[in-house]
Amino acid sequence: MNGTDGTDGRGDTERTDGADLTAEPPDPLAPRGTPLGGPLRAVARGAALLVMAVALTHMALLLLYVGPALSPDTARPARADAWLRPLFPQDWNIFAPDPPRANTRLEVRGWRADRPGRWIDLTAHDVAAHRGNPLPSREDQTVLRKAVSAHLAGSPHTQLRAPLTPAAQYLRNVVVVRLDDLGEPRPDTVELRLRTLPIAPPGHPAPAASRRPLGTWEVLP
């Protein structure tokens, strides 16, 4: 690092055609190798060892954090969880262990003054939004899908006017926003159901489609 500094050639490596052009130009902010002397050298060594110890600890806890997730029944070690969350979350199970084997459609209808409106397929909007669009908005592509799967992962409520889980409240809010976007009048309650369209396995006909109710939820004013 040392002797190459201080010459005037730093800015114009493109002109020095005869030199080794794959040699890295000097980094003016790198350590110069100035001798530190006893105490300062001890500080430098201590800092280096501390940084390396913390980095290795992080790596070890990262492995402990993702490791148990690979076998479904093991819980995450609390220490790894406390270290990595919330700033270093890990979630790498896209299309794994298996990709979904069915397309799902969220269908909703609003109720006003105890009379039902028409059923609307909200997923259809998302599907249309990213058809042929190489850079779709997250609002059109991810929000509804993730809201449905977060709700399904929790405990689904199906009773009218029961206290809703946060996931259900969120899904309801997403649905209300979508209905508003579609120009529907604001309903008193929304009724949600999930249509499942299984994909035909290779060489077999597709299993029959099915529907399941997700709930009827009050819309707050």
Partner 1 sequence: MTLPRALGPEIATPRDGARHARHRLHAVTRTPLGLYGAAVLRIGVSGLFLLNLLREAAHADRLWGPGSPYTPELFRASVEARGADGRLSWWYTWLGTQSPDYFRAAYVLAVAVSALYLLGWHTRLMAVLFAFVVAGFYMRSAVAASGFELLSLLFANYLVLCAPGRRWSLDARRAARATPASVSRYEELRRRVVTVLHNAGMALIAFQVMVVYGTAALYKIRGATWRDGSALHYALRLDDFATFPELSVRLAGLGSALALLAYVTVVSQLLFPALVFVPRLKYVVLVVMLGTHLGIGLLMALPMFSAITVVGDLVFLPTPFWLRAERAVRRLRAPRAKSR
Residue 168 beta carbon to partner 1: minimum distance, rounded to whole angstroms: 11
The answer to whether residue 30 forms part of the interface with partner 1 (CB under 8 A) is yes
Choose the binding region for partner 1 from 106-114, 154-162, 174-182, 184-192 (rule: CB under 8 A).
174-182
The answer to whether residue 143 forms part of the interface with partner 1 (CB under 8 A) is yes
Of 175-214, which residues contact partner 1 (CB under 8 A)?
176-177, 199, 201-202
Given 16, 74, 79, 103, the residue binding partner 1 (CB under 8 A): 103
The burial of 120, by beta-carbon neighbours within 10 Å (0-12 exposed, 13-18 middle, 19 or more buried), is given as middle
CB 150 within 8 A of CB 138: no
The answer to whether residue 42 forms part of the interface with partner 1 (CB under 8 A) is no
Alpha helix positions (H), the chain:
38-66, 78-84, 122-130, 138-141, 143-153, 166-181
Of 55-84, which residues contact partner 1 (CB under 8 A)?
55, 58-59, 62-63, 66, 69-70, 82
Pairing of strands 102-112, 189-198: antiparallel
Q: What is the DSSP letter of 21?
A: T
CB 129 within 8 A of CB 118: no
Structure tokens belonging to residue 38:
């006893």
Residue 214 beta carbon to partner 1: minimum distance, rounded to whole angstroms: 16
Residue 115 beta carbon to partner 1: minimum distance, rounded to whole angstroms: 25
The smaller minimum CB distance to partner 1, of residues 72 and 113, is found at 72
The answer to whether residue 19 forms part of the interface with partner 1 (CB under 8 A) is no
The answer to whether residue 86 forms part of the interface with partner 1 (CB under 8 A) is yes
The answer to whether residue 99 forms part of the interface with partner 1 (CB under 8 A) is yes
CB 192 within 8 A of CB 215: yes
Residue 216 beta carbon to partner 1: minimum distance, rounded to whole angstroms: 18
- Dist. CA 77–CA 89, nearest whole Å: 14
Given 117, 170, 207, 218, the residue binding partner 1 (CB under 8 A): 170
The smaller minimum CB distance to partner 1, of residues 87 and 113, is found at 87
CB 151 within 8 A of CB 167: yes
